[in-house]
Amino acid sequence: MINQSSQGGFLLLGFSEHPGLEKSLFTMALTSYLLTMVCNTLIFLPSMLNPRLHSPMYFFLSKLPFLDICFTTSFVPQMLLNLWGPKKTISFLGCSVQSFIFMPLGTTECILQTTMAFDCYVAVCQPFHYAIIHPHLCGQLVAVTWVIGMVQSVVQAPATLHLPFCPQGQIDDFSCEVPSLIQLSCFCGNITYNEIQMFVARVFIFIVPLTFILVFYSAITQTVVRVTLATGRRKAFGTCCSHLMVIIIFYSSVIAVYLQPQNSCAQKRGKFFDLFYAVGTSILNPLI
């Protein structure tokens, strides 16, 4: 059912208060997007085509670049249109499609990072049990991450898109993310249910996976410290440090974007963090 209060679509303000900055940001975002596509493809394709890279660690590693490609493509093209010209509107249908695609991809990446941390934990702390991480189990774990992402999208996106939005709604962002849409409706309808949904999603999608990651890496650190041989210690650090760097960058961006206080200053800073979250993390992952 079409939301009658938003038939005219939405106005994505983006960085319209800094018109002189938009062209520079467009160039940076376009360059980062193209590099993201190239670098992640160069990791994804060899990992899929080379049989020697079908071990569990490389299996998960091949899924992360594919997810980054889909994640950035879900909203960076719209961001580039927003930054390039004066037309900053998006139809309700376009906003709905963006929300339904963007949301499960972000959720899936959070869960996938936890799965990769678990893989590192078993490899370092329980090496004799690493045989349990067989290809069939890897496929099941990845399937579960995608299912969780889809369920979260199916539950939260319709409830948000059916809110009675204010006429000629202006979204102070460059994408149709759930927090911005809920804020747009705050003076037109009861959003208590949506805020509860968003709080539960933040706990189970961000906080709980991050807690598991911290537990896994705490155990990994304790195991590595007990290793007496320098070569063994370097091997253990080499196995996990690159993924730990990816996690730090990813979750730092997520916390800056989604767990910031709701005030105007934080929201303005949040748009720059959102820009980095959109194009920065996906280009840094393959480089790391």
What pLDDT, in 10s, does the model give residues 166-223? 666 777 777 777 777 777 776 555 777 878 888 888 888 888 988 999 999 888 888 8
**Model confidence pLDDT, tens digit, residues 63-122:** 888 888 888 888 788 888 888 877 777 888 888 888 888 888 888 888 888 888 888 888
Q: What are phi and psi of 238, to 5 degrees?
A: -65, -30
State yes or no: pLDDT of 241 exceeds 70.
Answer: yes
**Distance between CA atoms of residues 85 and 169, nearest Å:** 19
Does 197 fall in a domain? yes
pLDDT of residue 215: 92
Residue with tokens 């730990």: 244
**Model confidence pLDDT, tens digit, residues 15-55:** 777 777 778 888 888 888 888 888 888 887 877 777 776 67
- CATH number of the domain residue 153 falls in: 1.20.1070.10
Using only C-alpha atoms, what is the Rg of the chain? 20
pLDDT of residue 212: 92
State yes or no: pLDDT of 6 exceeds 60.
Answer: no
pLDDT category of residue 1 using cuts at 50, 70 and 90 = very low
Q: Which domain holds residue 55?
A: 7-287
pLDDT of residue 161: 81
pLDDT of residue 288: 66
Give the count of domains, the chain: 1
Does 67 fall in a domain? yes
pTM above 0.85, yes or no: no
Does 2 fall in a domain? no
Instruction: Return mean pLDDT, the chain.
Output: 78
Does 258 fall in a domain? yes
Q: What percent of the chain has pLDDT over 70?
A: 82
Give me the sign of the Cα torsion angle 168, 174, 176, 178. negative
**Model confidence pLDDT, tens digit, residues 253-278:** 777 767 665 555 555 556 677 777 77
Where helices occur in the chain by DSSP H, the ranges are 19-49, 56-73, 76-84, 92-125, 135-161, 178-184, 192-201, 208-226, 230-258, 264-275, 281-287
Does 1 fall in a domain? no
Does 134 fall in a domain? yes
